Chain A
Amino acid sequence: MNQITRERLFGFRHAFDDRVTVVLTLAVVVLLFLAPLLILIATRVANSAAEKQKELWDRYRSWIWLSAFILIPILAGAFWTILGVAALSFLCYREYARITGLFRERTISLIVAIGILLITFSVLDNWYRFFLALFPLTVALIATGGLIPDQPKGYIQRVGLGVLGFALFGSAFGHLGYMANDWNYRPILLLIICAVELNDIFAYICGHLFGHRKFVPHTSPNKTAGGALGAIVLTTPLVAIGAHFVWIGTALDNPVRLLGLGVIVSVVGQFGDLMLSSVKRDLGLKDTAKLIPGHGGILDRFDSLILVAPAVFHYVNYFVGFAVGQPQAIFHG
């Protein structure tokens, strides 16, 4: 492992080398400090019920922890970021397997877990070809593992659920981890995560202000066309401006391409949200778990990020590329 890789993986001294990282970190910290004031004003003005107030404060307290769990690994180094993404993959897969009942299929779950571990290794190793190969190989292994109980009844269900679980939480989230192989990964990841979370908030606020027409009443009755459009209108320029500073002077630094990135983050983020809404509605559940007070499960909180990760990765990879100039095959040589 050379000095550049060591600095990227563990070099916390480089945490604030990029201006966008400083701005986004400060924005998160300032928001966390201002939020209690905003909650107090909002609950006074709206004269909210005690239950609603408690939920808001629960959400706020959870956001403090969530922000720490997101910011600290990203600032600390790529190694911690990749491990953080792996933990997120495992936690999300666990919730998904428990709500769908897939957790009872131990062999499938074991294969998915091994797949996530291998994805994490390929990401840490910066071994892109192995990273790409892991999706079809793990799918093949899941299809084979489904044969072990020698029970054709339910084969399609257990293999189908296993493949979907690995695709979403192993492969798709793996792209988020792979971004950490770029030397300038901190502003990229912070920009995407902040934009996706803001996109949710914009959709919620715009939905309340201009939302009249239901968007997908059977999937998510609270979502409105006004909310969805409002989120696109607000998130797109924000992402474009942030991305301009992150990829300044590169092939991506062109107004149309930057706006394209913004539209991808906003639209795909909302599709991720709707995807999990569909899964929950299909199962007749409100939340995927009761782990984070005020939010539900980890999956409820990070659903919008699932589909955004591969979409953004491949969009940026097409124009600029990730991990350009970084040594590959760090561990296996």
Chain B
Amino acid sequence: MQPWKLQPARDTGLTPAERFRSVRRETGLLESLAHHFSFLILRIYLVVAHRLQILGRHHLPAHAPFILATNHCSHLDALSVVAALQARHRERAFPIAAGDVFFQTTPVSVFSAIVLNALPMWRKNCGPHALAELRRKLQGEKCIYVIFPEGSRSRDGHMSPFKHGLGMLVAETPVPVVPCFIGGTFEALPSHRKIPRPTQIKIVMGQPLDFATTANNREGWSQIARSVESAVCNLATQS
């Protein structure tokens, strides 16, 4: 007789507060329904208030895992990209959000985890261990990450150079990276504003990039950052 494969949730043993802030978090039925509901509301808001336009969605791979790497100038970016995904992809989509903003306190962590399905990235002490955990989760749990390789929101609407972290997640893996450009979110909700303006938001998705043969070392990570950055710049000029 074949033994059963019983695999407890990876977050077993964490307190509720720790769980919401953990990369090991695995969602259950209720949280999953909450994500679908919040993404539906978000999509309605973005379509009505910001006339959300999505170009190149056919470039998205049919199956997870994959990464959406995009420019970043507003809190609306992650919401717009996740809302742009098809319903079957949304449950697996995790925006990688700044731990010091979105996971600082327990109530904010609960909101980020349940409403946004975000995972934390601690910018000040983000060691290789945290990235290794994200890399394992990406492939092991067939996730879709929404990543902002600039590291933080642009203060003037211009794109900053992409950082290595993205490369550390995908180098030497078959996980494709979909470059993505978001326009209009800086005008709608720049970092100094609290309430969004109802300006149009446009998302352009490009052809997936493959880094299976790119070395998983500092040089490879730089190369990945440069090629994704240049792909996003190209999309920006097309839009």
Which residues of A does B touch, CB under 8 Å?
A: 94, 97-101, 103-104, 106, 109-110, 113, 154, 157, 282-283, 285, 287, 289-291
> How long is the Cα–Cα vector from A170 to B4 in the complex, in angstroms?
23
Given contacts A101-B6, A101-B8, A285-B8, contact A291 B29 (CB under 8 A): no
Shortest distance from the beta carbon of A300 to any chain B beta carbon, whole Å: 12
Chain A residues within 8 Å of B87, by CB: none
Chain B residues within 8 Å of A157, by CB: 4-5
From A154, A282, A285, B12 is in contact (CB under 8 Å) with: A285
Known: A98-B26, A103-B28, A290-B15. 15 other contacts (CB 8 A): A98-B9, A99-B8, A100-B8, A101-B7, A101-B9, A103-B9, A103-B29, A106-B32, A109-B29, A157-B5, A282-B6, A283-B6, A285-B8, A285-B12, A289-B12
* Chain A interface mostly: helix
Given contacts A287-B13, A290-B13, A290-B15, contact A110 B5 (CB under 8 A): no
> How long is the Cα–Cα vector from A285 to B7 in the complex, in angstroms?
11
Chain A residues within 8 Å of B14, by CB: 290
Chain B residues within 8 Å of A101, by CB: 5-9
From A94, A283, A290, B8 is in contact (CB under 8 Å) with: A283
Given contacts A287-B13, A291-B15, A291-B16, contact A98 B29 (CB under 8 A): no
Ordered nearest first, which 5 A-B pairs have the shortest CB separation?
Answer: A101-B7, A98-B9, A103-B28, A109-B29, A99-B8
Shortest distance from the beta carbon of A142 to any chain B beta carbon, whole Å: 14
> How long is the Cα–Cα vector from A253 to B113 in the complex, in angstroms?
54
Given contacts A101-B6, A283-B6, contact A109 B28 (CB under 8 A): yes
Chain A residues within 8 Å of B18, by CB: 290
Q: Which residues of B1-59 are within 8 A (CB) of A?
A: 4-9, 12-16, 18, 26, 28-29, 32
> How long is the Cα–Cα vector from A103 to B26 in the complex, in angstroms?
9
Chain B residues within 8 Å of A290, by CB: 13-15, 18
Given contacts A109-B28, A109-B29, contact A98 B13 (CB under 8 A): no
Shortest distance from the beta carbon of B143 to any chain A beta carbon, whole Å: 14
Given contacts A285-B12, A289-B12, A291-B16, contact A98 B6 (CB under 8 A): no
With both beta carbons as reference points, the residue of chain B lying nearest to A100 in the complex is identified as B6
With both beta carbons as reference points, the residue of chain B lying nearest to A103 in the complex is identified as B28
Chain A residues within 8 Å of B4, by CB: 157
Chain A residues within 8 Å of B8, by CB: 98-101, 283, 285
> How long is the Cα–Cα vector from A104 to B142 in the complex, in angstroms?
13
Chain B residues within 8 Å of A98, by CB: 8-9, 12, 26, 28
Please, could you name 14 A-B residue pairs with CB atoms under 8 Å apart, sorted by A?
A: A99-B8, A99-B9, A100-B8, A101-B6, A101-B7, A101-B8, A103-B26, A103-B29, A282-B6, A283-B6, A283-B8, A290-B14, A290-B15, A291-B16
Given contacts A290-B14, A291-B15, contact A106 B9 (CB under 8 A): no
With both beta carbons as reference points, the residue of chain B lying nearest to A287 in the complex is identified as B13
> How long is the Cα–Cα vector from A46 to B12 in the complex, in angstroms?
33
Given contacts A157-B4, A157-B5, A283-B6, contact A99 B12 (CB under 8 A): yes
